[in-house]
Every structure is written in structure tokens, then in C-alpha cells.
Chain A
Amino acid sequence: MVAFEVPEVDYTQYSNRQLIAVPLVVLAVALGVLAVTFAMTGSPVALGNDFTGGSELKVQSSEPISEQQATDIFGDSVVSVQQVSGQDQYIITFDNTAEISALTTQAEQADGVTVLQSGSTSPVFGGQNQRLALIGVGVAFLGMSLLAFALFRTFVPSIAIVISAFSDIVIPVAIMNLVGIKLSLGTVAALLMLIGYSVDSDILLNNHVLRRSGGFYESTYRAMRTGVTMTLTSIAAMTVMAIAATLFGIELMASIGIVLVLGLTADLMNTYMLNVTLLRWYKYEGVNR
């Protein structure tokens, strides 16, 4: 069995400018994606049924269902048809013009189709969810930021945590836009989890560099050894969960898994390029000012 050791990165080789450029460019690109999405759709993220209103049926069908066939059965309100991988189950999504009881009846009348799950959200309710999700993420982020400042009481290390957490959320949302994962209540939960995970490794790094004896590079390496192990463990768990849940057709867990894998990967970059650089600047230049 292979053993893995977290490799020691020689940070002295790179200037602050070089190190910080990569995460900042990635963050800028991600924000650009959100801006373009906003310009095109009027919302920075592609919103799912939970937020726009709409209906969804999960059916078991002996015959494969294509989008065309779904439109034949249910009419023009069909938005998408998605097969649960390797199973005879299909998730059919409808916009908010369809009436869920009518859809269920239509599905039950079709040959060889059994309705396993049905759900619908009204636009009013969706709007409500949108508002609350925004407040929820906002308040959670604000609480985390305040606590970060309360813990370290110095500007640069605290703001490093906040920027890094912000980027950890923005990057997966941008990727979701690009690959077509819509925002649902489940993915909002995942984004909130990211706040918690992201802060773990940042606090660890700040703590080692600021509150422990030892040189900057030695402290950084120690924090990295622990932090990278932590994040890799989480990524491994979430990758397995995302794959298994996708195979089993448990949408909620699959989307949480995917968002967390993306966010945790972004966190590796942000913590050990952005956060480290800010801390190094603070330690060698900022403090002397």
C-alpha cells in the first residue's frame, strides 16, 4: 500500500505576487462567470425548482423516456428528463405552469409508468425560499467573519480567513453554473457546510503561524501537514459520497457531495496560496509598519 506524506513546499522560491496571483485570478474568473450569468438570466446562479417554483416527478418506467416522449405525455411544461444512472428510474422536471395533480394522473395513465415521487413548489413559496436562503448564507457568513476577527484580533490574518471562505463559496457556485447544476436547498446546505470546513484549515494555519513559537516556514509546514490531511480526508469522503449517491439516485446527497468536493479543492488552493501569502506579508512586512 502506498503511504502519502504531505510534501514540503518551498515557499521561499516564490514571491508574494506570484503566489497570490493564482487564487486571485481564479476568484476573478469565478466572479466573472457569476456576472455573465447575472447579465444573461437576471440571477447570478442558476436557480432550481426550490427557488423558482415548479414540479418534479420521479417515475419508474419499463420503457426508456426521452425528452420528446415526456413532452408527448405531459405537454410543453417539461423542462428536462434525467435518467437515474443504471436504473429504470427517471426524474422529469417541469416549470411552474404545470399542475402537480394533473401531472401525476397523466403519468399514471401512461403504460408501464409508476410514480415514485412527486413534488411541487409554487413560485410564491420559491420566492420565499430565495429570500431566506440569501439571508441564511449572508448571516452565516457574517457570523463567521465576526468570529474570525474576534479570535485573531488583527486585521490581515482575520481578513485572510474571510476572503478565503468567500472564494471557497464563489468558486463552486461558478463551476455549478458552468456544468449546469442548479441551486437547490441541498446545495445551499453544502455551501453553508463549506463555510465550516473552509474555516477549519484557515484557523489551523493562522494559529500555527501567529500563536506558536518557531519560524514562519516551519510553522506553515506543520500546519500544512495537518491541514492538507484534513482536507484530503474530507475530499475522499465527499467524492465517494457523490459517486455512490449519484449511482443510487439520491439527488440531495449527490449534489452536496459534488459542491463540497469543488469547494474543498478550492480551499486547498486558497489556504495554501492566498492565506499563506497574506500571512507571510503580515509577518515580514505588515508587522514592521
Chain B
Amino acid sequence: MSALRENWRIVVLVVLLLGSTVALFVPGAPPGTSANETAGGDQLTNLQYGIDLSGGARIEAPVVGMTAEGVNVSLNGEAEAQQAIANRLGIDPVDVGVRAAQQPGQNGTVELFTENVTTEEFRTALQEEGYQPSTIRDGVTAETRQRMVNVIGEKISTSALSGGRVQEVNSPGGQNFISITAPGREASDLIEILNERGVVRVYAVHQNSTTGNWTRQQVLDQGDFREIGNAQTVNNQPQVPVVVRDGAAQRFQDDMAQAGFDTQRRCGANATEHDSVETINSTCLVTTLNGDPVFAGGVRSDLAQSFADGTFANDPSFVMTTTSIEEARNLQLSLDAGQLPANLDFESGTQNTLSPALADQFRTNSLITGLLAVLAVSLVVYVRYRRREVALPMIVTALSEVYILLGFVALAQYPLNLSHLAGFIAVIGTGVDDLIIIGDEILQQGEVGTARVFQSRFRKAFWVIGAAAATTIVAMVPLVGFPLGDLSGFAIITIVGVLIGVLVTRPAYGDILRNLVLDE
């Protein structure tokens, strides 16, 4: 027992080594993973690889838009203000976001999600509507960015791009970016999905019987659906079954009945032949995706009947047919994921694509590089001390530091990139430095007679190690909060590694050395 207590540092080291082994190799051990999940990793370990080491795409881009702050809008006036400002600027209302003050004493914001309006035009339009914005700045509000992150996340997970990550990246005092990572894909695929905002609208097109003019009335938008079925083909007809939300069903039913869809209608238009709902002159129900008609159809007699007698609201479901199954899938994706509040400005961002083949090479080669570096360290240490009982534990301790750090990374399911490997190198470097300090301090001042002499020398060495570790951590901390490429990942790995080293492995080396030296 007392042997255990005396060597508690070694005990802690062994426990952490075992823990890391579990975290690394037992399938499903890290929280949030299942035993058969392998996306972005490999079968052998629980390590997650980022795109640098597994291939894939990463995009970072700011959100298109500008924000007027300090606009006095009431909670009830949001929709009205949105329409009024859009009309004044001659833009689509989806490009205007009005947010009333959330707490008394604050002011609301108005956002524009288009590049076609200048700050001056925006200010003038707001003033003409009677608002006095305090500032107008580039960029959108934090709420909009959060919604962007959610919707993009939805879009990526509903499309075939599995294992993607979306997050908001704030650079202190500067622009905000949305960062999207998708393993195994090219940046251009990702941009294709995100370029379209996925705006879905349903119009009732009908003719005024007296004037003969065609009216294109919007009867449903994205938010009006409660349930979206899977895109499917029934009787050679690609379609998406949908259910309208309770609050909207009644209005939709009334609008449809008034527009003359209370009896069976046949549609004379073909969605593929039109680029906009404006050119359709036929009594049809038209669904547009990003302004492009994807479905133009009539209303069957039973559906028309339910609009007429008001029973539709009791079971507000119908089927949207499309011209192809691809379109049906896109429609489903857009309805499911919702529309992006704004576009991403890819021109002002950064993008990277790495082929899986090259990433594989990087993975193997950086492992070899790391091993060669460790070999070089071992050689220098051995040549310097020429004593196996000093050099060997030094190398083993340094390696166990890396092993525990890997275990931590696997446990946190942190995707490893090249920059993190740089962090590993920094950790091995400072680790070996510290072990040399401990070794020299203990061995080179004459014989170590008693445990007390040993203890005092060890403490002296530890002052230097602690001070050096503190400076390294202080130097790295500011980087953690910086979204600079991957520098924050590099800093996190270095800090965690140095902490593991100072708190566990380097003290344990002292204990190992004591046992070896005092045994003699």
C-alpha cells in the first residue's frame, strides 16, 4: 500500500494511460458516439479526422447584409414594417428582416439581406418610413447568424453530406463568418447547396372574371407547413406530400375558395416552360423554389370540394407534384430545412478542398514524420546521457504524454487537422525539454542519497518547469479565442498537452527516476 502511496504520480499516469486506451480503441467509448459509427474517422480508433486528414471541404464566408440598429419598431408592427421597407426599396420582402426590441428600453433592428441597396438608400428609405436608425453597419445580427447556422446545418444533414459541421466564427472586433466543414465533398458541391436560399412559395393563379386580368396571389410560404413527407414517385408522378400548419390552413382554404379553386380546375401551364410565376396565365396552383416554378397544377374535385365546404382545415394535407424526382427532392430539402435568412458572400471568404487520397497521404506521412522526430529526440537524449535507465523512461514518458493527449482528443471527438499535429509537436518538444531539466537536476549534483535530497531537487526542477509551462500557456491563450484558420486548434492542443505534462507525466517521470536511482 505504502509503495502505491509513495508512487501516486506513477499510479495517476498509468490510470490515465488506461483511460486513453479505452477512449481511443473501445468502440463507442467517447460520449455521443455509437459503436458502429465511423464517419470522418477510421475503424481502428475513435479519433475524428478533420478535412486535412480525411479529405473534404471547408468554407468560411461572411453573411451578405447590413443592419440598421436602434430602429423603433413595435412587436406587432414587424410584418407591416417589413413590407413597407421592401416596397420603398423595390426589393423582395424576404430580403428585409425586421426585429422589434426584445426588452423595454432597447430598440429594434432592421436588416437588409441584399447587395443591391447602398447604405444611403437604406437610410433614406428608413427615414421616409419614419424611423431614425442610430447606426447602419455591415453584417447581420447575431440572431440571424444563429438562424443561418441552424438552417445550413439542417440543409447539410438532409442532403447527402453527412458528418458536416457548421459554426459561427467571430473574429474579435471584426467581421463574423459562418464556417462550414463537410468531409468527403468538394467546396463547389457545398456552394451549390448553399447558393440557393431555398425560398418556397405557393401561388394561386386566377383570372378576374370581369376585367380578364390574371392575379398571382401568394397563398402559402415556407413557414406554413407542419409536416413534409418524403419525395416519392407515385404512378410515375414525382411528388412531395405536405401538411399545412393549423394556423395557416383556415386562411389557405379561404384564399383558395375565393380564388375560384372551390371547384375542380385543370391547369393549362407546364412548370418546366416557365422561369417565373409572372408568365403563367392559367388557373393553377403554382409552387416556386427560389422563384422558379417547380410545380403548376390544377385542383382535383375532392380537394376543391374540401376548400368549398371548409373541411380542408380539418385535414390540411395535400400533395405537391413536380416535373422530376430531383426537383421533388430539392423541394423537400427546401421545405424541410427552411430558407436561409440571407446569402453567404463566398467572394469574401475562404474555401479549401482536399482530395481524400491526398488526405490519406498526409495522415500516413505526418505519422512517419512524427515518429522520425521522436527517433531523433531519443537518439540525442541517449547520446547525451549514455544511461539507459535515464534515457529510456524519458522517451517513454514523452510518448505517454502524446498518448494521453490523443486519448483526450478522441474523448472530446475533436476533429484532428494538420495544425493540431503542429500542437502535438510543440507538446513533445516542451515535454522533452522539461524531462531533461528534471533529469539533469536530479542526476548531476552528486549522488542522490536519500529520498529527502531527491525531493528537494525535484522541487527545484519543478519551479523552472512550472514557470516555463506558465509562459507557454500565457502565450497560447489569446489564440484560443481567435478563429484564424486553425490556429485556435493548435493553441488548444498545446495548452492541454502542456497541462497534462506539467500535472501528470513530468512529475511521474520524477517518481520513475527516483525508483531507479534509489534502487542502486
Contact = CB atoms under 8 A, between A and B. Distances in A.
Do chains A and B interact in one complex? Answer: yes
| Band of interface residues on B | 35 or more
Interface stretch (B210-218, B264-272, B380-388, B501-509): B380-388
B84 interface: no
Most B Cβ at <10 Å: residue of A115, A135, A144: A135
Contacts of B386: 3
A9 interface: no
A50 B482 CA distance: 15
Given A4-B384, A121-B350, A244 B475 contact: no
| Band of interface residues on A | 35 or more
B433 A233 contact: yes
A248 B353 contact: no
A128 B171 contact: yes
Interface stretch (B39-47, B245-253, B355-363, B399-407): B355-363
A136 to B, nearest CB: 5
A119 B468 contact: no
A232 B429 CA distance: 11
A138 B222 CA distance: 48
B347 A122 contact: yes
A132 interface: yes
Contacts of A238: 373, 429
Contacts of A140: 474-476, 478-479
Interface string B435-468: 0110011001000000000000000100110011
B331 interface: no
A192 B369 contact: no
Contact of B358 (A58, A241, A245): A58
Contacts of A244: 365, 368-369, 372-373
A141 B471 CA distance: 10
Nearest to B177: A125
B419 A189 contact: yes
Contacts of A249: 365
A2 interface: yes
Nearest to A232: B380
Contact of B444 (A128, A190, A222): A222
A203 B421 CA distance: 27
Interface stretch (B315-323, B336-344, B485-493): B485-493
Given A119-B350, A233-B381, A250 B369 contact: yes
Contacts of A192: 475-476, 479, 491
A29 interface: no
B422 A253 contact: yes
B426 interface: yes
Contacts, number: 232
B422 A200 contact: no
A234 B429 CA distance: 6
B418 interface: yes
A128 B482 CA distance: 11
A83 to B, nearest CB: 15
B444 A185 contact: no
Nearest to A244: B369
B383 A122 contact: no
A256 B369 contact: no
Given A203-B464, A230-B437, A148 B471 contact: yes
B383 A1 contact: yes
B482 A136 contact: yes
B366 interface: yes
Contacts of A239: 376
A141 B468 CA distance: 14
B52 to A, nearest CB: 8
A226 interface: yes
Nearest to B438: A226
B185 to A, nearest CB: 13
B411 to A, nearest CB: 24
Contact of A248 (B369, B471, B474): B369
B441 to A, nearest CB: 8
B440 A226 contact: yes
A204 interface: yes
Nearest to A114: B355
A256 B425 contact: yes
Interface in A114-143: 114-122, 124-125, 128-129, 131-133, 135-136, 139-141, 143
A70 interface: no
B130 interface: no
Nearest to A56: B352
A3 B383 contact: yes
A151 interface: yes
A8 to B, nearest CB: 13
A10 B259 CA distance: 101
A241 B372 contact: yes
A197 interface: yes
A236 B479 contact: no
A110 B198 CA distance: 35
A163 B255 CA distance: 77
Contacts of A1: 383
B484 A129 contact: yes
B490 A189 contact: yes
A59 B10 CA distance: 49
B437 A188 contact: no
A233 B471 contact: no
B424 to A, nearest CB: 11
A236 B376 contact: yes
A129 B475 contact: no
B349 A125 contact: yes
Interface of A: 1-4, 50, 58, 100-101, 104, 114-122, 124-125, 128-129, 131-133, 135-136, 139-141, 143-144, 146-148, 151, 185-186, 188-190, 192-193, 195-197, 199-200, 203-204, 207, 211-212, 222, 225-226, 229-230, 232-234, 236-241, 244-245, 248-250, 252-253, 256
20 contacts: A3-B383, A4-B384, A100-B187, A119-B351, A128-B174, A143-B477, A151-B467, A186-B422, A192-B475, A192-B491, A193-B494, A195-B475, A196-B494, A211-B463, A226-B436, A238-B429, A240-B369, A240-B373, A244-B368, A245-B365
Interface of B: 60, 62, 171-172, 174-175, 177, 187-188, 191, 347-355, 357-358, 361-362, 365-366, 368-370, 372-377, 379-381, 383-384, 386, 418-419, 421-422, 425-426, 428-430, 432-433, 436-437, 440-441, 444, 460, 463-464, 467-468, 470-472, 474-479, 482-487, 490-491, 494
